[in-house]
Structure 1
Amino acid sequence: MDFATGWAHILGMDRDYDVIIAGGGLNGPALALALAQGGLRVLVVDARPASARASEGFDGRAYALALASQRLLSALGVWPAVAALAQPILGIRTSDGVPPEGAAPFLLGFDHGELDEGAMGFMVEDRHLYAAFLAVLEAAPGVTLRSGDSVVGQRVDGAQVTVALASGQVLRAALLVGCDGRTSGVAQRAGIRRHGWGYGQTALVGAIRPEHPHQGLAHQVFLPEGPLAILPLRGGLASIVWSESEANARTIAAMGDEEYRVLLESRIGHLTGHLDLAGPRFSYPLTLTLADRYAAPRIALVGDAAHGVHPIAGQGLNLGLRDVAALAEVLAEARARGEDIGAVDVLERYQLWRRFDSTVLALGMDAVNRLFSNTNPFLRAVRGLGMRAVAAMPGPRRSFIREAAGLSGTLPKLLSGQRL
């Protein structure tokens, strides 16, 4: 190796990209756009063909975006493409329920008028959000999207990480980011262990057309077998995330549409009136899984690759976007200072920023699920008193609302709507 070649290697000039992102769901594209704002060259490797998700029809799958997440999408240039398709969340209602009576009158409610910033969040269908990301990615300078391929190998070699793709191509970068889900191959190959447990619950997911207009309200009904969320969508529809014990869920999932509809209606009670099913039905097991570390030499984890949480508060994507905003800001600042963005001390800043916050939130949702998913009369009385107490105290109410909107804590620039 001659002098010029040696210095090019040390400075990273012979790398194919600054950052390679494994996973093209939603966190991966969001991170790519954020890093491109910071002047980095980024490759997103998405195992699915680009057209597979962008062309899908209505299926009811949707995300509850906190207000801070909406601001991030706006700063990335994605929000204009979905704003007209998003349903503002104007209030949250929580209540207990016991089958077959359905939901009791709500015990705790929050309204967007209690938040100075406006809507508490937005419901956006998965198909619309992915299509918007895809359109912005294709036009973004500094970002390359490789669809229908996947990362199958990685090796850290001092000043770079060498990445092998399923297509046979080998690429080099300063950093590899795992946005590849709860079974992250990036994390496994980096020797990052995971801890967690199953809830003995399965989520039944779909969409309904309720008789009563939803008025932008999100409902959370705490049933003995698990929580049931009714989330407002555009066009008078609502998304359902119905957690049941694994045994019950298997029986329910095997029902025909009419039997399923009648049972669901009995669980919801008066909240929707008569309901019709809209779109297909899905189910998936519920688990908690937390990575021991969010970073290793030239490796970082984002979203479900770092923390897979219970959907009780709809915070999965929001947690991932907080990771995106923090990692992008750390890397952009490191680059501006002339630091090596894949260095351990740089990545440690990201881990310190995000790991405690996401772990506390994940364990908090775990505790709420355990507290409410039972028929113990003492616990039912305690949680009823607790919710009524919060309802009567302005301070805790405001704290809850701001936490739900993603506005608490030290926010990265993107979550405040600022570009990097």
Structure 2
Amino acid sequence: MQRWYSLRKNHDMAPVELYDVTIVGGGPAGCALAGALSATKAFEGMSIALVDSGKLCDLREWKPPLDTYLPRTLQITASNKSFLEDRGLWDRCYTDRVQPYNRAVVTDALGRGVVDLAASDTPEPEQHGASVAYMVETKNFVSGLLQSINSSEGHVDIFERDKVVSIDNGSADMVTNKDNTISRFPVVNLSSKQKLRTRILVGADGVNSCVRKYAGIGTYGNEYSQFGLVATLCLEELNRTAYQRFLPTGPIAMLPFPGGFANLVWSLDIDLIQLLKAVPESLFACLVNAAFRLPPHEMQHLYDLVRDGASESEIAAETKWRLEVYERNNSGHPDPSLFPPKIAAISPKSRTSFPLRMRMVDNLTAERIALIGDAGHVMHPLAGQGLNMGLEDVQCLVDVLKQAVLAGEDIGACSVLSRYNKHRYVRNLAMQGIVDKIWHIFGTSSYPLVAARSLIMNGLDVNDEGASHGTQINADPIIPKLLKEQLLSACMMDQSNLVEELLSSPQQVNVNFKNALGFTALHYAAQTGSIDCVKLLTAAKGINPNVQDNMGKDTPLHKALVHCDSSETAMDIAKLLVGAGADPRIVNKKKQRPIDLTEPDEEDIRRLLLQATLAITVRQDQAELDEDDGSYSSD
């Protein structure tokens, strides 16, 4: 039986309670973690607390509207759905409101690029396991998780409508770790005056995470200077396909729901967001239909009419006329299914918006701290991977803690949590990098890049006769620009064969190219622990192993010592970097040298770094002496 505590209730709890796991944040990731822990046999007898400032009890009892769908939605991948199903965390939601889809069509408004991703042509994809993803309302998903937690045999205490006032380092519980260091249990002070001591504190509390701030974990990233406009669409016909179109103003996506409904996600600059949220719903429906069909210059004309304050009837007539012309000109299109169904109406008052940003942390863990979901990473929604990354965090953390329990380890020890960080950090960073690149590539109107992305998209989408939908172009002018991006991506994904191919390409690739975060290919290869990629890069002509990134001012050597899965891998990569000229004396933003990031028992790595430091110092001293000798001899 679960205990639910609320500020609306008076309870006579002890002033301080000890929990094995305390989760701050009752959103999708936090509830999924609480549910997964309570459903795992290894955690029987362990105490779990879930803290949230919202009305979780009301959310648990949520009743859906009968005539519409909510605009805030989630895409769940098939693998994450299976994880939830296996732990009894899926079927408690209203499954009749969940829409599996087995096809996604992506188009480029400026070029002729088309990608048609079809998992199966079967009419019932869910029965055949061929779904690309599952669409579910956020409230429906979280409500189902809370119901599962409430009915489980695991011990989860839920503190609803209770804010975290502060988090302290507890002095009552001090644990001696294997390396003889002392760690203290964090104490979470709630607005209800309740204090929760915990062996491990999990931050699932979003982009402004108080847990992350308490741990002193830094963040970096950028704002996209855009907002996401979401709404619920009523379609003219039933639909099981997801559609996305990249416009110069930002991508627009239509994601299917049962009964002829769909979810709209439209990325736009703030001035356009405000204008489009203000126009009447009937006109907004016309503009959405236009955005999925008309060329960008015609959409710009419609935007200008809205900006200039033209009447609703004038804008509607102009939009209708342009759509009629478009349909006449495209009546013979070979595959009309590449275009979404027409929108008949917008669900009343369903339009809302949220800022678009990218955020990553320096680490996902600290002493007795772990971050999951948006507390550890935020990305653009264009790929629908935000929560899926969070659910993968949950899967990994549950597995790491389970193995620690079975081995009799302290679940909050840094040695345990570092396994979670090393596994998830690089994967999250890689996915963020890919999505960020897609946004930037499709956000430009430059012809070379438009041509390049059309070439790539059409290469992915080939019809039965082997001919692509788009027009072939000469890609020679844009290949160098693509190579450096491909090199970074290959190192993110530990694809050494591709790295070797790119480095041997007749078109010279810039091996020291830095992306927006200041990361080079060598940064990614080092932190991924890819010995083969590091070996190839350090042998490349002109490689600079001492580039510091823009955020933490880390070199590849810093990255290797923080993120490699094992000391052996870190040692092998450190040898390669030092052999290529990496300077162990360089300090990062936190004034840390690479040696400061090693463990006391990593004697071989420490010896290597000390020897390299000495060798560089001796060479520099000798060079100064030679320079002095030269100056004297010239007198």
Alignment gaps of 5+ in structure 1: 1-13, 99-103, 395-408, 410-420
Tell me the residue number matched to 1:414: none
Q: What is the CA-CA distance between 1:259 and the residue it aligns to? A: 2.8
SS in structure 2 of the partner of residue 60 of structure 1: coil
SS in structure 2 of the partner of residue 16 of structure 1: strand
Q: For residues 123-147 of structure 1, what are the alpha-carbon distances to aligned partners after superposition, in whole Å with 9 as ceiling and x for unaligned?
A: 1112221211111111222112111
Q: In the alignment, is residue 301 of structure 1 matched against residue 363 of structure 2?
A: no
Which of the residues 22, 29, 32 maps onto 1:30? 32
Tell me the residue number matched to 1:108: 115
Tell me the residue number matched to 1:89: 101
Tell me the residue number matched to 1:371: 441
Mapped to 1, the partners of 2:83 and 2:415 lie a distance apart of 26
Tell me the residue number matched to 2:228: 203
Output the aligned Cα RMSD: 2.3
Asked whether the equivalents of residues 113 and 454 of structure 2 are also in contact (C-alpha less than 8 Å), the reply is no
Mapped to 1, the partners of 2:431 and 2:372 lie a distance apart of 15
SS in structure 2 of the partner of residue 326 of structure 1: helix
Q: In the alignment, is residue 359 of structure 1 matched against residue 429 of structure 2?
A: yes
Q: For residues 375-409 of structure 1, what are the alpha-carbon distances to aligned partners after superposition, in whole Å with 9 as ceiling and x for unaligned?
A: 22222111111011122499xxxxxxxxxxxxxx9
Q: Name the larger-Rg structure.
A: 2
Mapped to 2, the partners of 1:393 and 1:234 lie a distance apart of 29
Q: For residues 89-117 of structure 1, what are the alpha-carbon distances to aligned partners after superposition, in whole Å with 9 as ceiling and x for unaligned?
A: 1111100126xxxxx88711111129984
Mapped to 2, the partners of 1:368 and 1:136 lie a distance apart of 37
Asked whether the equivalents of residues 252 and 266 of structure 2 are also in contact (C-alpha less than 8 Å), the reply is yes
More strand by share: 1
Tell me the residue number matched to 2:275: 251
Tell me the residue number matched to 2:49: 43
Identity rate of aligned residues, in percent? Answer: 31
Asked whether the equivalents of residues 137 and 145 of structure 1 are also in contact (C-alpha less than 8 Å), the reply is no
Under a length normalisation based on structure 2, what TM-score does the superposition of the two structures give? 0.57
Asked whether the equivalents of residues 194 and 291 of structure 1 are also in contact (C-alpha less than 8 Å), the reply is yes
Which of the residues 329, 339, 357 maps onto 2:399? 329
Q: What is the CA-CA distance between 1:173 and the residue it aligns to? A: 1.1
Q: What is the CA-CA distance between 1:288 and the residue it aligns to? A: 0.3
Mapped to 1, the partners of 2:75 and 2:196 lie a distance apart of 36
375-384 or 153-162, which deviates more: 153-162
53-62 or 205-214, which deviates more: 53-62
Asked whether the equivalents of residues 177 and 300 of structure 1 are also in contact (C-alpha less than 8 Å), the reply is yes
Q: Which has the higher contact order (CA 8 A, sep 6+)?
A: 1
Mapped to 2, the partners of 1:378 and 1:278 lie a distance apart of 40
One-letter identity of the residue aligned with 1:87: Q
SS in structure 1 of the partner of residue 157 of structure 2: strand
Q: What is the CA-CA distance between 1:152 and the residue it aligns to? A: 2.3
Q: In the alignment, is residue 161 of structure 1 matched against residue 167 of structure 2?
A: no
Tell me the residue number matched to 2:159: 146
One-letter identity of the residue aligned with 1:60: P
SS in structure 2 of the partner of residue 32 of structure 1: helix
Asked whether the equivalents of residues 89 and 122 of structure 1 are also in contact (C-alpha less than 8 Å), the reply is yes
Mapped to 2, the partners of 1:75 and 1:127 lie a distance apart of 21
> Superposition pairs for residues 335-350 of structure 1, below 5 Å?
335-350=405-420
Tell me the residue number matched to 1:418: none
Q: In the alignment, is residue 72 of structure 1 matched against residue 83 of structure 2?
A: yes
120-129 or 343-352, which deviates more: 120-129
> Superposition pairs for residues 259-270 of structure 1, below 5 Å?
259-269=283-293, 270=339
One-letter identity of the residue aligned with 1:183: N
Mapped to 1, the partners of 2:166 and 2:463 lie a distance apart of 53
Asked whether the equivalents of residues 30 and 76 of structure 1 are also in contact (C-alpha less than 8 Å), the reply is no
Q: For residues 229-258 of structure 1, what are the alpha-carbon distances to aligned partners after superposition, in whole Å with 9 as ceiling and x for unaligned?
A: 110111211001100122222222232323
Mapped to 1, the partners of 2:370 and 2:34 lie a distance apart of 14
Mapped to 1, the partners of 2:160 and 2:109 lie a distance apart of 45
Tell me the residue number matched to 1:222: 246
Asked whether the equivalents of residues 138 and 145 of structure 1 are also in contact (C-alpha less than 8 Å), the reply is no
Alignment gaps of 5+ in structure 2: 1-15, 176-184, 294-338, 465-494, 496-635
Asked whether the equivalents of residues 97 and 267 of structure 1 are also in contact (C-alpha less than 8 Å), the reply is no
Q: For residues 251-304 of structure 1, what are the alpha-carbon distances to aligned partners after superposition, in whole Å with 9 as ceiling and x for unaligned?
A: 222323233222222102352224310241110110001111100001110000
Query: Aligned residue pairs: how many?
Result: 377
63-72 or 74-83, which deviates more: 74-83
SS in structure 2 of the partner of residue 355 of structure 1: helix
Q: What is the CA-CA distance between 1:51 and the residue it aligns to? A: 4.1
Asked whether the equivalents of residues 45 and 146 of structure 1 are also in contact (C-alpha less than 8 Å), the reply is yes
Tell me the residue number matched to 1:415: none
Which of the residues 181, 197, 204 maps onto 1:179? 204
> Superposition pairs for residues 226-245 of structure 1, below 5 Å?
226-245=250-269
